[in-house]
Amino acid sequence: MTRVPLDRPLDRKGVAAWCLFDWANSPTPTVVVTFVFAPYFARAVAGDEATGLALWSWGIALSALAVALVAPVAGAVADAAGGRKPWIAAFSLVTVVATALLWFCAPEERWILPMLALVALVNFGFETATVFYNAMLPDLADTRRMGRLSGWAWGLGYAGGIACLALALAVLVMAEPAPFGLDRGASEHVRAVAPLVALWFVVFAWPFFVWTPDRRSSRAAFSESVRRGLARLVETGRELRRHRIVARFLIARLLYIDGLNTLFALGGVYAATTLAMDEEGVLTFAIALNVAAGLGAAGFAWMDDRAGARRTLALSLACLIAASAAILLVQSALWFWILGLVLGLFVGPVQSASRSLMARLAPPEMTAEMFGFFALSGKLTSFAGPLLVGAVAYATDSQRLGMAVIVVLMAAGLLALRGVPEPAGASEKA
């Protein structure tokens, strides 16, 4: 069942292609933003790991701020225009082109600013395209199946990120000798990962644009869509009481996602310093964590539809809080691994159930705008978690107490979530 007229009939092929888009674009944050180009920039381009990490963090933070400012406005305009795929295509094109251009960023200091600008564009394009991609969820599944579709797509996304990373490491980064005549002295074996990720995106994203149905265009001129969208955005601001349930959910998400993002940003540092885990160990643990998160997102998708997105989210958050608190108490690497994988199982359901809950709560005529605010809630205070962790760690001279801030943020989010009711019809049998 669909809530709005689509430009073509909805079938399984179109739904599968929507899920495949998650597989296509997930290597962007996994490979480019996190695992390959972040250490390459810090060590080879910036020449100093501490300075490189700081510059990289600032570049990502500025792009996240741009997403937070642009997403609600662009979402409101997209709701007025009708279709979502033109917006996804435009921002995905920005992502693909900027990713491919990273090939030219040689290990020289003169490439510091160009590389930071390109990575900021990559992150901006990816995150903004995701706003409109998420907004398609309620058009492709009724309330009884949104959880499964969101969870399966999110799980497929984790799998795509890890598969592309494994391919990049095996074929390019770690291959001896470097393939295709790539010059290791110029880091070409690392830089070649950029066109690989761009090609991966294009190859696996095209079925989405060909087969997945979209909302019918309003056929209004772009200037008229902008006028209507901005007027709707102003009206939303004036009528916050009408959307108070959505507002409560976004406040809760702001808190627990800030904790989750801080965990992702600083978890590797904690493992390396407090538990003396080497770089290979941190990378292996991160890959295992992503695998566990993908399995959790896919596995809990059924619970989302059966018990409800809010209940699934609350249970996953509670387990995430318990696992995070336990990790801060352990001393051995073995228990860190065991509890870390348990933690990973609940990371995916938190992300997936958040998306399906937003899809259920958003008014049908405002889904892109509401997912714009959804993006805003995930970016607006992204600086606060790391800042608080650093402040507490410095004040107490304890990294464990500093990392405990993450538990507090997620617990505050869970507490705020109590004011959000389960959407009607969520627990009907599929």
Check the CA dihedral 87-89-92-93 and report its sign. negative
Q: What is the pLDDT of residue 149?
A: 93
Please report how many Cα atoms fall inside a 13 Å half-sphere around the Cα of residue 89, on the Cβ side.
11
Q: Is the pLDDT of residue 407 over 70?
A: yes
What's the CA gap between 276 and 271, in Å, rounded?
A: 7
The pTM for the full model equals: 0.87
Instruction: For residue range 2-55, list pLDDT tens digits in order.
Output: 456 777 788 899 999 999 999 999 999 989 888 888 888 888 898 777 677 778
The C-alpha atoms of residue 272 and residue 279 are separated, in whole angstroms, by 7
Across 76-105, average pLDDT? 92
Which tens digits make up the pLDDT trace of 153-196?
999 999 999 999 999 988 998 888 888 889 999 999 999 999 99
Predicted confidence (pLDDT) at residue 418 exceeds the cutoff of 80 = yes
Q: Supply 249's token pair.
A: 């959910």
Distance (Å, rounded) from C-alpha 71 to C-alpha 325? 34
* Percentage, residues of the chain above pLDDT 90: 44
**241 band by pLDDT with thresholds 50, 70 and 90:** low
pLDDT band at 81 (very low <50, low <70, confident <90, very high): confident
Residue 215's φ and ψ, nearest 5 degrees, are -65, 145
Judge whether residue 430 has pLDDT over 50: no
Query: Can you say how many angstroms the Cα of residue 54 is from the centroid of all Cα atoms in its chain?
Result: 21
CB 402 within 8 Å of CB 234: no
Q: What is the pLDDT of residue 379?
A: 77
Is the pLDDT at 353 greater than 90, yes or no?
A: yes
**What pLDDT score was predicted for residue 93?**
98
Span 387-409, mean pLDDT? 85
pLDDT for the residue numbered 416: 94
Tell me the pLDDT tens digit for each residue of 339-349.
889 988 999 99
Per residue, what are the HEC states of the chain?
A: CCCCCECCCCCHHHHHHHHHHHHHHCHHHHHHHHHCHHHHHHHHHCCCHHHHHHHHHHHHHHHHHHHHHHHHHHHHHHHHHCCCHHHHHHHHHHHHHHHHHHHHCCCCHHHHHHHHHHHHHHHHHHHHHHHHHHHCHHHHCCCCCHHHHHHHHHHHHHHHHHHHHHHHHHHHHCCCCCHHHCCHHHCHHHHCHHHHHHHHHHHHHHHHHHHCCCECCCCCCHHHHHHHHHHHHHHHHHCHHHHHHHHHHHHHHHHHHHHHHHHHHHHHHHHHHHCCCCHHHHHHHHHHHHHHHHHHHHHCHHHHHHHCHHHHHHHHHHHHHHHHHHHCCCCCHHHHHHHHHHHHHHHHHHHHHHHHHHHHHCCHHHHHHHHHHHHHHHHCCCCHHHHHHHHHHHHHCCHHHHHHHHHHHHHHHHHHHCCCCCCCCCCCCC
Average pLDDT, integer, range 410-417: 95
Q: Residue 70 CB: number of other CB atoms within 10 A? A: 18
Most confident of the following: 203-217, 220-234, 273-287, 364-378: 203-217
So what's the pLDDT on residue 429?
40
Q: Which domains does the chain have, with CATH numbers?
A: 12-417 (1.20.1250.20)
pLDDT of residue 240: 60
Span 282-301, average pLDDT: 86
29-47 exposure pattern, b = at least 16 Cβ within 10 A, e = fewer: bbbbbbbbbbbbbbebbbe
Give the model confidence (pLDDT) of 367-391 as tens digits.
888 888 888 888 777 777 777 887 8
Predicted local distance difference test score (pLDDT) of residue 194: 96
Stretch 224-253: mean pLDDT = 77
Task: Give me the pLDDT at residue 2, please.
Answer: 44
In angstroms, rounded to a whole number, what is the distance separating the alpha carbons of residues 189 and 186?
Answer: 8
Count CB neighbours of 103 within 10 A.
16
Which of 48-57, 198-207, 225-234, 414-423 has maximum average pLDDT? 198-207
pLDDT of residue 274: 67
| pLDDT value at residue 399 | 78
Give me the pLDDT at residue 428, please.
45
Phi, psi of 176 (to 5 degrees): -125, 120
- The chain-wide mean pLDDT, for the chain, equals 86
